[in-house]
Amino acid sequence: MCSERAPDDLTARARIRDAAIRLFADRGIAGASVRDIAQAAGVSSGLLRHHFGSKEALRDYCDVYAKDRTDQFREEVFAGGKMTDPGFLVSHSPEMRLLQRYLVQSIKDGSPAASAMFDKMVDLGEEWTIKTGVATRDPRAYGAAICAMQLGLFLFADQLSRVLDVDLGSTEGYVRLNHALIDVAATTMLSPEQAGYLHEAMDRVLDTSPKE
């Protein structure tokens, strides 16, 4: 799709994997059947089983493929000397955007491999929070929250496309949303006074509702 790829990677096995990633990303893991995937890859469903054994095993394979491919792409970008926020850069490639959508679905449904990736994301988010000195008493929860929010965004792509009246899969929609996200990251939605008030309110919640 993007960088060089082994020629024999256009085999049926690779086509199945690509079709699976696309359908999983579009419909969620449970929403894509093995027959749909096989048909999208232009093969029989038996061949899918022949190559991967089961739907779950196919998903595992897609997990490691998506992770490896993403890491590889990230390294290429870094090696290319483009030293801006990697989190933003990675998603500029259509292939990376697809893999990202897939990984979000996979993380949401919670496979071991995907959960491990989420853990790593949160670890990085926590490190970043501490390193940059964000004003929070709970860097881990802070990092986890921004990770989950970032990922959650992808799950509402359809709704966002409708509300913004632009296809978020297109470059135009993608750029428009990212401009907004930059603004979200660069602005503040609560004043320190408001934040303090809300923190106190939350503590009161903890005190007044010990039951449940």
Query: Residue 2, interface with a copy of itself (CB under 8 A)?
Result: no
Task: Evaluate whether 21 touches 63 at the Cβ level (below 8 Å).
Answer: no
Task: Evaluate whether 143 touches 135 at the Cβ level (below 8 Å).
Answer: no
Query: Residue 10, interface with DNA (CB under 7 A)?
Result: no
Task: Give first-to-last CA distance, the chain, whole Å.
Answer: 52
The interface partner of residue 130, options being DNA, a copy of itself, none and the CB cut-off 5 to 8 Å by kind, is none
Task: Please list, residue by residue across 95-129, b when 16 or more beta carbons sit within 10 angstroms of its beta carbon and e when fewer do.
Answer: ebbbbbbbbbbbbbeebebbeebbeebbeebbeeb
CA 102 distance to own-chain centroid: 7
Q: Smaller CB distance to a copy of itself: residue 43 or 122?
A: 122
Q: Smaller CB distance to a copy of itself: residue 7 or 210?
A: 210
- Which of 46, 86, 110, 196 is close enough to bind DNA by CB under 7 A? 46
Q: Smaller CB distance to DNA: residue 10 or 149?
A: 10
Query: Residue 80, interface with a copy of itself (CB under 8 A)?
Result: no
Residues that bind DNA (CB under 7 A): 11-13, 32-36, 42-47, 49-51, 54-56
